[in-house]
A and B are shown apart, each in its own frame.
Chain A
Amino acid sequence: MAIWTHYYIPQTLDEALSLLCREPQSKAIAGGTDLLLELQQGRHPPVRTLVDLSQIAALQRLEMSQGALWIGASVPLNRVIAWPPVRHFATALCEAISLIGGPQVRNVATLGGNVAHALPAADGAIALLALDAQVLVASPEGQRLQPLLACYAGPGKTALQRAEIIVAFQVPACEKEEASAFRRVMRPQGVAIAIENMGIWLRRKDERIEDIRIAVGPSGPMPFRARQTEQVLRGKPLDEETLAEAEKVLKSEARFRTSPHRATAEYRYHLAGVLLRQTLQTAWERTQLNFAEELGPLSVKG
């Protein structure tokens, strides 16, 4: 069954933007791992024209510049994973996208799609939020850099307009004493979306957490920053008393729900404590590693 009528492969951003403006019922497509499934299962309004973003040079960027990583929105995840700076300076992101789907999915899936699909527990998005990534968005009016959460309108609803394209993500590189980690709990089979995931970035000062960002999914309609929990942890040593307090606050500020046949809210609240302790501990230990050192095996799925 054909699910589109026209398929364009523009070479430039301008071309892509004008196609999206001009063609009725048009839609951008990157790896298609979310979009094609939704179209096939009838969960997406029908489209006539697909505009393929995979050949546009501006969306294929992978570079370090002025203390930040620039990751093109349509670079396939397997290439992002293989790019050493991601592993060293944005470890949580490397861990997160290494867990997405299986090798076949990662060969084509992209970070642009992961964010534009707008699920509150997308692994890439949770890691990007913890890393305080900015998003470079192109529209017919020009380009703008905006915070990640400005891309979200609700569960599975992006705030981006049809003729707006994510060009790249700007991810601040971890500096000395800074580190990040990502953990998730899956249903046993280990594909598809996480039951719960968490990304943590922190900066350490001696035996205390100087600064921290915690992102959790799925809590509420979009990727969730646990700001009250962060506040509890800021300036504290990583001891049992702090952890217990942080766990309590996280469970009160997060909004977990039951998803039928996947997980109950009860289970998710339980996991929040488990994930907080594990992720925090890992990020904390990583702050002591020199960047020149190997990080050791990440929980990367073969």
Chain B
Amino acid sequence: MLPVSEAVAATPLAPRLTHVDRVERETADTVTLHVSAVDTELPPFAPGQFDMLSALGVGEVPISVSGDPDDRVTRQYTIRAVGAVTRALTSLRPGGVMGVRGPYGHPWPVEAAVGADVVVVAGGLGLAPLRPAIHHLLAHRDRYGRISILYGARSPDELLFADEMQRWQSDVDVAVTVDAPSAPGKAIPPWDGRVGVVTTLIPDALFDPHRATALVCGPEVMMRFTARALADQGVTGERVYVSLERSMACGVGLCGHCQLGPFFVCVDGPVLRHGLVGPWLAVREL
């Protein structure tokens, strides 16, 4: 009866098939998969966007793209095994087949941040969705002011992309901290760096609080405390961006699972301005 939009051609829920080219172990439970499309190339992504990854026959989960946005051939995903689907994905070997659809969601505001300082604050696996933004900032280094990367992990063996972090250090400020230098029952390399939660790095970071943009990703409590610590330094919620995690069964605004108040985290996020989303995050169990 009604004319239906042309978008109807193909179901947005069917994935493209990809091959795993390489698997890099990051930590005991986390790997980075390098994948490429079997037939048609995957559409380019912007830093902060995610794909829906299918472990065929097991299920589908949202995973942020963690590689370089300028790499048009290979997609990288850094995945922690926590349940059925992520276990199946992290068990894939080179040559393995996996479904990908995307990219989805609102990216980090790397364009809006041009001309001023950028503070990147990552907690744990939260560094993965920020890594494409870091790639972008480094590739266009001259367009930004001071860039600070503040990264906190639970313990030294949980640090992601440690070699890369060394290289980044030559172009930008990098500060790393761990919650605890050792963990009972775990053989952990000796740590002579900072100890403490990631927010403790904020007062020492150099940025102009009145113009800086902050990109923040990590567990929700970490993001809440980070936004508060940034506010204490004078960075308002209007320039603090967080990437949220919610249950997602579609990634495209159709399944209803990811709602947070008026937002569909899949299409309105995952990156949202803290000034906008903070009041909703503050309501328990929303």
Is B truly associated with A?
A: no
